[in-house]
Amino acid sequence: MTVSECRSEDVPALTASAGALFAEDGGRHDAFMDTGWPAREGAAYYAGLVDDPDSLCLLADGGAGHLVGRLRKPDPLRPDAVTAVLESMRVAPERRRQGLGRALFEAFVAWARERGANEMTVQAYAQNASALAFYEAHGFRPFLVTLARS
Contact 132, 122 (CB under 8 A): no
Written as tens digits, the pLDDT of the chain (150 aa) is 899 999 999 999 999 999 999 999 998 999 999 999 999 999 999 999 999 999 999 999 999 999 999 999 899 999 999 999 999 999 999 999 999 999 999 999 999 999 999 999 999 999 999 999 999 999 999 998 888 888
pLDDT of residue 149: 85
* Architecture of the CATH domain 3-137: 3-Layer(aba) Sandwich (3.40)
pLDDT of residue 150: 86
C-beta atoms surrounding 106 within 10 Å:
13
Instruction: Give the full edge-to-edge strand order of the sheet including 3-5.
Output: 3-5, 55-60, 65-72, 83-91, 119-122
pLDDT of residue 147: 86
In three-state secondary structure terms, 126 is coil
pLDDT of residue 86: 98
Domain spans in the chain, listed from the N-terminal domain onward? 3-137
pTM (2 d.p.): 0.94
C-beta atoms surrounding 18 within 10 Å:
23
User: Who's near 138: CB < 8 A, 6+ residues apart?
Assistant: 102, 105
How many Å apart are CA 120 and CA 101, to the nearest integer? 16
How many Å apart are CA 83 and CA 127, to the nearest integer? 25
In three-state secondary structure terms, 26 is helix
- Please report the DSSP string for 55-102 in residue order: EEEEEETTTTEEEEEEEE--BTTBTT--EEEEEEEEE-GGGTTSSHHH
